[in-house]
């Protein structure tokens, strides 16, 4: 029972910490004078993905055996899978719930349905927004394809290619920082910093303290959350392999999912989607570069299956974005790819 209690406590701690984190990171973006989209793709994504990258670094550099090092390889593949499927799917579901709630409120207030339709079939943003979202996916997909192909081959200078993944993220980072306010939502003024709720413009030290403190809580709560899943898995009759490949990736990406939920609730859909796409770029490059440098980077059937499902999900999202047909319902469908992954994983592991 203690494991289930700790699981709930950790989930609550992660959510509350993410509330404070997104509040602080928006002020941090203002202090650093970066574009609003870069707040999601760079600052928020880097903050929540950094702890996971550190875990991968520790696994691949200090693992006492090849099997221990391969934990880092699994994390490098599981992270993008969970983000491309579960994170986007949860965001779509939250958007559906939000639009249905808004429709019910209008109906209760006026007695008439919204004249512009139910909102559920409307695309997320205009064509410029869709091109902006599709651009991130077009960055991610070729990098991820190369990452999977390298897991199927072996040659002498393969480890040195890990440096190219770091370079790819550096280029993406520079592009996002220099992107200015492209995709500006015209949002209202920032909410007061929770650490200084009465200050119209909080002190820089307070912004930095709130950002770093929440990241520390998110890091340790996430690790404790994963540890509880590892303990609960066998109690539910799940093997260690299934727990590691099916549940742990979702748990490690929980901060990104929580961030997206909070921003959707606040009406900042672009920031929610940008946070996920930015985290995906980090997960596709930094952990992969570490894995290539310090492991054999050799895929088994389960890892290859994870890669194929991730690519299928991204192709689906990219096609709907380019056609300007990405609606909350279609975004929710992305979670279905994770269900397909789970079903296909069973015969691979048995």
- Residue 334's pLDDT is 94
Minimal CA–CA distance to 342: which of 85, 17, 46, 9? 85
CA pair distance 148, 314, nearest whole angstrom: 14
Whether residue 111 has pLDDT greater than 80: no
d(CA 60, CA 53): 11
pLDDT tens for 72-96 read 788 788 889 999 999 999 999 999 9
User: Are 53 and 76 spatial neighbours (Cβ–Cβ below 8 Å)?
Assistant: no
Mapping DSSP to helix (H, G, I), strand (E, B) and coil, where does residue 211 land?
helix
Question: Tens digits of per-residue pLDDT, 271-319?
Answer: 888 889 889 999 889 989 998 998 889 888 888 999 999 999 999 999 9
In angstroms, rounded to a whole number, what is the distance separating the alpha carbons of residues 320 and 107?
30
Summary mean pLDDT of the chain: 83
* Mean pLDDT across 17-40: 86
**pLDDT grade for 199, boundaries at 50, 70 and 90:** confident
pTM: 0.85
Q: Per-residue pLDDT averaged across 16-32, rounded?
A: 89
pLDDT tens-digit readout, 233-264? 777 776 665 676 777 788 788 888 988 999 89
- Residue where the block lists tokens 């979202």: 133
For 207, the token pair is: 């912004």
Whether 115 shows a pLDDT value over 80: the answer reads no
The token pair that represents 115 in the structure block: 């004249």
pLDDT tens digits along 119-175: 455 667 666 767 777 888 888 999 999 999 999 998 889 999 999 999 999 999 888
Is the pLDDT confidence value at 117 over 50? no
68 or 172: which leads in pLDDT:
172
- Does the structure show a pLDDT above 50 at 183? no
pLDDT level of residue 41 (50, 70, 90 thresholds) = confident
What percentage of the chain reaches a pLDDT higher than 90?
27
246 within 8 A of 133, measured Cβ to Cβ: no
Residue with tokens 């077009």: 138
**Position with higher pLDDT, 280 vs 111:** 280
Instruction: Report the pLDDT value the prediction gives residue 185, as an integer from 0 to 100.
Output: 47
Percent of the chain at pLDDT above 70? 86
- Cβ–Cβ under 8 Å, residues 44 and 259: yes
Q: Which residues of 196-209 are buried (b: 16+ CB within 10 A; e: fewer)?
A: beeeeebeeebbee
């Amino acid at each position: 029972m203690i494991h289930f209690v700790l699981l709930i406590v950790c989930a609550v701690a992660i959510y509350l910490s993410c509330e404070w984190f997104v509040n602080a990171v928006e002020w941090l973006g203002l202090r650093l004078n970066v574009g609003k989209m870069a707040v999601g793709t760079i600052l928020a994504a880097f903050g929540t993905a950094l702890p996971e990258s550190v875990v991968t670094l520790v696994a691949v550099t200090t693992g006492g055996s090849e099997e221990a090092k391969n934990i880092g390889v699994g994390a490098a593949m599981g992270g993008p899978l969970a983000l491309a499927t579960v994170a986007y799917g949860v965001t779509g579901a939250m958007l559906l719930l939000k639009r249905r709630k808004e429709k019910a409120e209008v109906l209760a207030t006026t007695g008439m349905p919204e004249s512009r339709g139910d909102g559920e079939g409307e695309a997320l943003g205009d064509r410029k927004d869709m091109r902006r979202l599709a651009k991130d996916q077009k960055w991610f997909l070729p990098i991820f394809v190369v990452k999977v192909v390298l897991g199927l081959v072996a040659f002498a200078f393969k480890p040195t290619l890990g440096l190219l993944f770091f370079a790819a993220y550096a280029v993406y980072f520079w592009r996002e920082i220099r992107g200015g306010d492209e995709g500006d939502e015209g949002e209202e003024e920032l909410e007061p910093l929770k650490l200084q709720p009465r200050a119209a413009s909080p002190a820089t030290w307070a912004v930095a303290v709130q950002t770093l403190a929440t990241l520390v809580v998110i890091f340790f709560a996430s690790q404790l959350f994963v540890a509880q899943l590892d303990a609960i898995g066998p109690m539910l009759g799940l093997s260690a392999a299934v727990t590691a490949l099916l549940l742990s990736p979702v748990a490690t990406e929980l901060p990104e999912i929580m961030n997206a939920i909070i921003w959707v609730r606040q009406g900042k859909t672009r920031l929610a989607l940008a946070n996920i796409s930015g985290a995906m770029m980090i997960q596709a490059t930094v952990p992969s570069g570490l894995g290539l440098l310090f492991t054999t980077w050799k895929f088994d059937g389960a890892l290859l299956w994870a890669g194929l499902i991730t690519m299928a999900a991204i192709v689906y999202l990219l096609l709907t974005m380019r056609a300007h047909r990405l609606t909350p319902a279609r975004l929710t469908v992305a979670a279905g790819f994770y269900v397909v992954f789970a079903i296909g994983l069973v015969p691979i592991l048995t």
